[in-house]
């Protein structure tokens, strides 16, 4: 993985790389008067399908970051009814000024619309305008828009280019990177889809300024995940700076996005199609997806469900003899500090098991979980005893509810 730093400016104090871990540069402590890049660029290294992730302010106004990746000067921008009034005209102005023809496709907003019916609205618009194989689809929105646009791009005429412009924190640090695309099914989340990589990812941090606090917290869940599975020093940094992150301090949020994307890019470069190590990125997701499905898509935000799911994973890890009670308490405290639920809804043991049984990590009918050997190191295991799983479910619903 290559890291490219462009255009530096004075920062209030977030150091760029000073040490290495897992082959990646990292920072553990702020250093005053350091220089912070105006725009940072990471590369997801996938050979001839490698692509850049640009992170910074004002990127929507820079068509030069998009145009070189177009097969023809024609795009279809897929967005939703919430994001369109905020950023669609701005993007259209930038692109048309660079000589690009833009077709907007505006969908309803929400996880409840991540389905075949809504996906077909994208296909209807593309077919109605006679979009061609070289027409690029641009996802302007959060994870739902990115996942559906990517799946549409993978399917339309058996594959057209697409670009990710994530506008939520969760999508900037997670769903826009790595090529997972798809839609939900009533029996399971993201069960229908494809691995299909974008040409470029533009994470404009200015879009986070219009994000509701609940959505911001949902994104922080995925950032916490990276610390828990990969980098204990980053986890400690998050504990020290959670207040600044929730206040959208520019230097803090940019560093957190950069470090999160850095970790994910490394993992995806090593295991694009989740045949091995990439599964660790699903910490909390087996429990979390069951929450989303059981409660009805959209009632719990994905990040909220993952936050509660990570507490459950930490609890299970303690019961497996890997984490101490203090480490579980520390994990729960950070989830709470991010404004996330640390208590799971009471779905009932059989319902939990039913929905978790549809998890994509199931092999030969056996549930596999991402747990923690220690804070900063994840493990994938199919050897969680049924009694341990049931005790975890009970503890994380009843004990959490009474705390």
Q: Is the pLDDT of residue 8 over 60?
A: no
Q: Give me the residues paired with residue 377 across strands.
A: 374
User: Whole-model pTM above 0.75?
Assistant: yes
pLDDT of 362 reads 85
**131 phi and psi angles, rounded to 5 deg:** -60, 140
pLDDT band of residue 188 (cuts 50, 70, 90) is: confident
Reduce the DSSP state of residue 4 to 3 states and report it.
Answer: strand
pLDDT band of residue 364 (cuts 50, 70, 90) is: confident
Q: According to CATH, where is 3.40.50.1970 located in the chain? A: 45-210
pLDDT of 37 reads 52
Q: Is 62 left (phi over 0), alpha (psi -120 to 50) or beta?
A: beta
Average pLDDT over residues 383-401: 83
pLDDT of 302 reads 94
Q: Distance between CA 86 and CA 224 in Å, rounded?
A: 28
Average pLDDT over residues 105-121: 97
Q: Is the pLDDT of residue 34 over 90?
A: no
Q: Is the pLDDT of residue 398 over 70?
A: no
Only one residue has tokens 């990177």, namely 177
What are 252-267's pLDDT values in tens digits?
Answer: 999 999 999 999 999 9
Reduce the DSSP state of residue 306 to 3 states and report it.
Answer: helix
Decide: 236 and 224 in contact? Cβ < 8 Å: no
pLDDT band of residue 249 (cuts 50, 70, 90) is: very high
Q: Is the pLDDT of residue 229 over 90?
A: yes
Average pLDDT, the chain: 90
Instruction: Please report which helix (H) or strand (E) contains residue 75, including its range.
Output: strand 74-80
Q: Is the pLDDT of residue 57 over 70?
A: yes
Q: Is the pLDDT of residue 399 over 90?
A: no
Q: According to CATH, where is 1.20.1090.10 located in the chain? A: 212-403
Q: Distance between CA 230 and CA 6 in Å, rounded?
A: 26
Long-range contacts at 235-238 (CB < 8 A, ≥ 24 apart): 235/334, 235/375, 235/376, 236/28, 237/27, 237/28, 237/29, 238/334
Token duo for residue 388: 């341990």
How far is C-alpha 104 from the geometric centre of its chain's CA atoms? 24
Residues carrying an active site annotation: 158, 180, 222, 264, 274, 278, 282, 285, 289, 302
Q: Distance between CA 142 and CA 137 in Å, rounded?
A: 15
Decide: 199 and 161 in contact? Cβ < 8 Å: yes
Q: What strand order describes the sheet that includes 35-44?
A: 3-10, 35-44, 51-56, 201-204, 162-166, 136-141, 74-80, 101-107
Decide: 355 and 289 in contact? Cβ < 8 Å: yes
Reduce the DSSP state of residue 403 to 3 states and report it.
Answer: coil
What are 9-18's pLDDT values in tens digits?
Answer: 333 445 443 3
Q: Is the pLDDT of residue 40 over 50?
A: yes
pLDDT of 187 reads 87
Instruction: Please report which helix (H) or strand (E) contains residue 365, including its range.
Output: none
Token duo for residue 77: 């921008």
Q: Is the pLDDT of residue 164 over 60?
A: yes
Average pLDDT over residues 56-77: 97
pLDDT band of residue 6 (cuts 50, 70, 90) is: very low
pLDDT band of residue 5 (cuts 50, 70, 90) is: very low
- Would you give the DSSP letter of residue 358? T
- Would you give the DSSP letter of residue 300? B
Q: Is the pLDDT of residue 35 over 50?
A: no
Residues 6+ apart with CB under 8 A from 105: 76, 77, 78, 79, 121, 122, 125, 126
Instruction: Please report which helix (H) or strand (E) contains residue 39, including its range.
Output: strand 35-44
Q: Distance between CA 293 and CA 281 in Å, rounded?
A: 19
Q: Give me the residues paired with residue 341 across strands.
A: none
What are 70-90's pLDDT values in tens digits?
Answer: 999 999 999 999 999 999 999
CATH number belonging to the domain at 212-403, selected among 3.40.640.10, 1.20.1090.10, 1.10.390.10, 3.40.50.1820: 1.20.1090.10
Percent of the chain with pLDDT over 70: 89
Which CATH code is given to the segment(s) 45-210? 3.40.50.1970
Residues 6+ apart with CB under 8 A from 120: none
Q: How do strand 51-56 and strand 74-80 relate by DSSP bridges? A: unpaired
Q: Distance between CA 156 and CA 233 in Å, rounded?
A: 43
What are 190-205's pLDDT values in tens digits?
Answer: 999 999 999 999 999 9
């Amino acid at each position: 993985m290559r890291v490219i730093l462009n255009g530096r400016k004075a920062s209030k104090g977030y150091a760029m790389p000073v040490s290495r871990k897992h082959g990646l540069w990292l920072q553990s402590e702020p250093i005053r008067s350091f220089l912070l890049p105006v725009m940072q660029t990471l590369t997801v290294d996938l050979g001839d399908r490698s692509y850049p992730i640009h992170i910074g302010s004002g990127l929507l106004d820079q068509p030069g970051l998009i145009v070189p990746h177009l097969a023809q000067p024609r795009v279809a921008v897929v967005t939703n009814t919430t994001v369109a009034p905020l950023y669609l005209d701005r993007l259209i102005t930038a692109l048309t000024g660079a000589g690009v023809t833009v077709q907007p496709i505006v969908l309803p907003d929400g996880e409840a619309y991540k389905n075949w019916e809504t996906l077909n609205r994208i296909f209807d618009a593309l077919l109605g305008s006679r979009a061609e194989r070289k027409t690029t689809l641009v996802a302007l929105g959060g994870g739902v828009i990115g996942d559906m646009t990517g799946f549409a791009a993978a399917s339309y005429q058996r594959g057209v280019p697409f670009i990710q412009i994530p506008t939520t924190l969760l999508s900037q640090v997670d769903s826009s990177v790595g090529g997972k695309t798809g839609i939900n099914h009533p029996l399971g989340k993201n069960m229908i889809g494809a691995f299909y990589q974008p040409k470029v990812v533009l994470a404009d941090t200015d879009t986070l300024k219009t994000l509701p606090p609940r959505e911001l917290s949902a994104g922080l869940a995925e950032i916490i995940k990276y610390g828990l599975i990969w980098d204990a020093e980053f986890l400690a940094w998050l504990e020290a700076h959670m207040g600044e992150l929730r206040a959208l301090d520019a230097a803090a949020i940019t560093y957190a996005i950069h470090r999160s994307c850095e970790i994910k890019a490394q993992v995806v470069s090593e295991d694009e199609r989740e045949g091995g190590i990439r599964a660790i990125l699903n910490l909390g997701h087996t429990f979390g997806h069951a929450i989303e499905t059981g409660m009805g898509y959209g009632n719990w935000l994905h990040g909220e469900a993952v936050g509660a799911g990570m507490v459950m994973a930490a609890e299970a890890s303690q019961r497996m003899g890997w984490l101490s009670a203090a480490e579980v308490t520390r994990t729960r405290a950070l989830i709470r500090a991010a404004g996330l639920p640390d208590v799971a809804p009471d779905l009932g043991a059989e319902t939990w098991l039913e929905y978790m049984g549809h998890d994509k990590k199931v092999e030969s009918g056996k549930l596999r979980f991402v747990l923690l050997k220690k804070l900063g190191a994840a493990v994938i295991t199919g050897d969680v005893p049924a009694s341990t799983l049931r005790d975890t479910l009970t503890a994380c619903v009843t004990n959490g509810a009474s705390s």
